[in-house]
A and B are shown apart, each in its own frame.
Chain A
Amino acid sequence: MTALAIDVHDLRKSFGQRLVIDGLTLQVPEGEICGFLGGNGSGKTTTIRMLCGLLRPDGGGGTCLGMDLLNDAPRIRLQIGYMTQRFSFYGDLTVAENLEFMARLYQIRDRRRAIAEVLERIGLADRADQLAQELSGGWKQRMALAACVLHRPRLLLLDEPTAGVDAKARREFWDMIHEMAADGMTVLVSTHYMDEAERCQRVVYLSGGRLVVQGTSDDVVRAAHLVTFEAAGDGIEQAVRRLRHLPGVETAAVFGRTLRIAGMDRAALRAAIDSLGEDTLHWQEVEPRLDDVFIHMLRDTEA
């Protein structure tokens, strides 16, 4: 069995009266890319901050890279890279200067080579002398990633790294993450994008500060026991509005030219479809997708 990069149990954290993390237990094996999912305010950022020692858990504990979360925070920091949700480098420094600063903080021996390498790998080489504040969103994220992996951390914590970044930049960003994981780096990445979740070897779904489900995306889909029907044809716009209010239909949404409904009860869904009484739509049962499952879970936890 491979060693665990993250092994924490019963983590608890509250801000004032508000319990944000409520007994979270999480294990991530080394070298894996773990997608961290959950609605807004589900505790993703708080968990990541506790893992890198920025917040002290109120209860629970565990290890990060084999080091104690509560007592070894300074040592853990040397071996993790943390990319904050908000761009948090110095806009008034150039890309190279920001990297140089980080390299010095981590006391990297051959600074110049390390910086040149990371600039090359992340494709920032020709922007090295640009002020960070002048970079566009996608390039800022790249720079932040470069700064986080400069010291070759064993664990990379990414907090919604691709929020507000275009599709091409997102894909390239993920290609880089995969490359790094191939080199043995463990990656914990929070995201709201399903296509990104599907690129993770493991997804962890968080809700209300608790871990709701974890596993490969197939595992998660299977474990949900969700039933999905899809229809194509004329009148899907009218149908979706009626379907939404019928019993057993948890979600009904139009995707381009198809209409998808999902629920737990197959019979109830069929009854709902029959009650429409329209023959312009062609229905068929399909495999649920990850986003169907997550919307279903979000509904569950909100209820």
Chain B
Amino acid sequence: MNRFSLARLFAMLIKESLQMRRDRATVGLTVMLPMVQLFLFGYAINANPRHLPTGLLTAEHSTYERSLAAALQNTGYFDIRPMATEDEAEQALARGDVMFVLNIPPDFSRRVDRGEVPQVLMGADATDPTAIANATAAVVALNATVLNRDLPADMRVQPQQAPFQIVLHGRYNPEQITALNIVPGLIGLILTVSTLVMTTLAITRERESGTMENLLATPVRPVEVMLGKIIPYVGLAYVQIALILLVSVTVFAVPVRGSVPLLLLALGVFIACNLAMGFAFSTMAATQMQAQQLSQFGLLPSIMLSGFMFPFMGMPAWARFIGEAVPLTHALRICRGVLLKGNGLAQIWPDLWPMAVFALVVGAIAVSMYRETLD
């Protein structure tokens, strides 16, 4: 006789949306925040930087050297700047004015002509390995054939003789534009931040302002309170998704190769995960301050272990194990998969069901933790 009631749920929904409307600042922030993040991450983070300043140290100006420098320049990774002395080059590298120093030995052309295989020293600023990884790979691929045109016919390296050749083939993102990797990932990250933090605060706000006591004394059921608090945020989350997708496609030229409805559906499951987690946190926290900290606690593994920040395959086994339990990990794969690879339901299913299980389990924990009394 006092089971779940749609009417009471409706009451909660109306109340929450009214409060949301009054709190324009927060709603404004939740709309603006993803934009700021999108532009910051989309433009600022680049794991494949090009046009890295490179100092060139050389004693002579032979044809070989000019070809080598030109070839480097042509990879797009290097901007060659001539350096006068080794000391100057050293200083520039230390200050960070250049990322690389190419040091060609004085008798380079003579030794090449003699077939002595002279060594060219490439000093690199390795403080940010990711930043130079692709550039160094380009150098390795280069050196076997770069001088072919200039060498006497008998000294030319024949393609079949080359000891190895590195083939760089970036699928789905052949130009390796980082934004194409980052932006779909950002959808998941932004949703985590907004939905997790918002719901975590929702219940604690009621408790802190004393309205919880009132709510508890009414016939409203825990599930009604939970759904009533969560559903408005689901609506807000979809507004965010729409905005992010729009900007991703128009500004960052992210391709949409898969089905958008499928993506929206999968993201719905992901949102449910975060809301359930947020609700569980908020039943544990006594104050909004604690709730904030708890949500950070949920946010950190999401960011660090989901593969957003570091490549998932590069993490040690234990970290991957934890990462698999983080909903964002699966959401990232789904976003990238659907948008960049055109994956369908069959391909995203292995990532969809773990999120559904997560949402159900954590949601059940949250409801059972919601205390109907003040004890």
Whether A87 and B210, one on each chain, are in contact in the complex, defined by CB atoms closer than 8 angstroms, is yes
**Contact residue among B8, B210, B212, B219 (Cβ-Cβ distance under 8 Å from A74):** B219
Find the B residue at minimum CB distance from A46.
B374
Question: In the complex, what residues of A have CB within 8 A of residue B5's CB?
Answer: 107
Within 8 A of B (CB), among A36-81: 49, 52-56, 73-75, 77-78, 80
Q: How far is the CA of A188 from the CA of B214 in the complex (A)?
A: 17
Among B11-19, B37-45, B63-71, which stretch is in contact with chain A?
Answer: B11-19
Whether A56 and B22, one on each chain, are in contact in the complex, defined by CB atoms closer than 8 angstroms, is no
A106-B22 CB under 8 A given contacts A75-B1, A84-B210: no
Chain A interface size, under 10 / 10 to 19 / 20 to 34 / 35 or more = 20 to 34
Find the B residue at minimum CB distance from A102.
B218
- Shortest A186–chain B CB gap in Å is 16
Whether A104 and B214, one on each chain, are in contact in the complex, defined by CB atoms closer than 8 angstroms, is no
Whether A105 and B211, one on each chain, are in contact in the complex, defined by CB atoms closer than 8 angstroms, is no
Q: Does residue A139 face the partner (Cβ distance < 8 Å to B)?
A: no
- Shortest B15–chain A CB gap in Å is 5
A107-B217 CB under 8 A given contacts A55-B374, A56-B373: no
A74-B10 CB under 8 A given contacts A54-B373, A88-B213: no
Interface-central residue, A53, A84, A88, A131, by most chain B CB under 10 Å = A88
Whether A78 and B219, one on each chain, are in contact in the complex, defined by CB atoms closer than 8 angstroms, is yes
Chain B interface size, under 10 / 10 to 19 / 20 to 34 / 35 or more = 20 to 34
Question: In the complex, what residues of B have CB within 8 A of residue A75's CB?
Answer: 1-2
Whether A77 and B219, one on each chain, are in contact in the complex, defined by CB atoms closer than 8 angstroms, is yes
Question: In the complex, what residues of A have CB within 8 A of residue B15's CB?
Answer: 90, 93, 97, 101
Q: Does residue A10 face the partner (Cβ distance < 8 Å to B)?
A: no
Within 8 A of B (CB), among A89-119: 89-93, 97, 100-102, 104-107
Question: In the complex, what residues of A have CB within 8 A of residue B211's CB?
Answer: 88-90
Q: Does residue A245 face the partner (Cβ distance < 8 Å to B)?
A: no
Question: In the complex, what residues of A have CB within 8 A of residue B210's CB?
Answer: 84, 86-88
Whether B219 and A93, one on each chain, are in contact in the complex, defined by CB atoms closer than 8 angstroms, is no
Question: In the complex, what residues of B have CB within 8 A of residue A74's CB?
Answer: 2, 219
- Shortest B277–chain A CB gap in Å is 25
Question: In the complex, what residues of B have CB within 8 A of residue A101's CB?
Answer: 11, 14-15
Whether B8 and A104, one on each chain, are in contact in the complex, defined by CB atoms closer than 8 angstroms, is yes
Find the B residue at minimum CB distance from A81.
B217
Whether A77 and B23, one on each chain, are in contact in the complex, defined by CB atoms closer than 8 angstroms, is no
Whether A90 and B218, one on each chain, are in contact in the complex, defined by CB atoms closer than 8 angstroms, is no
Can you list 23 residue pairs at the A/B interface with Cβ under 8 Å? A53-B217, A53-B372, A53-B373, A54-B216, A54-B374, A55-B373, A75-B1, A80-B217, A88-B209, A88-B213, A89-B214, A90-B211, A92-B19, A93-B15, A93-B19, A93-B22, A100-B14, A102-B218, A104-B10, A105-B218, A106-B219, A107-B5, A131-B22
* Residues of B that sit less than 8 Å from A by CB: 1-2, 5, 7-8, 10-12, 14-15, 18-19, 22-23, 209-214, 216-220, 372-375
* Residues of A that sit less than 8 Å from B by CB: 49, 52-56, 73-75, 77-78, 80, 82, 84, 86-93, 97, 100-102, 104-107, 131
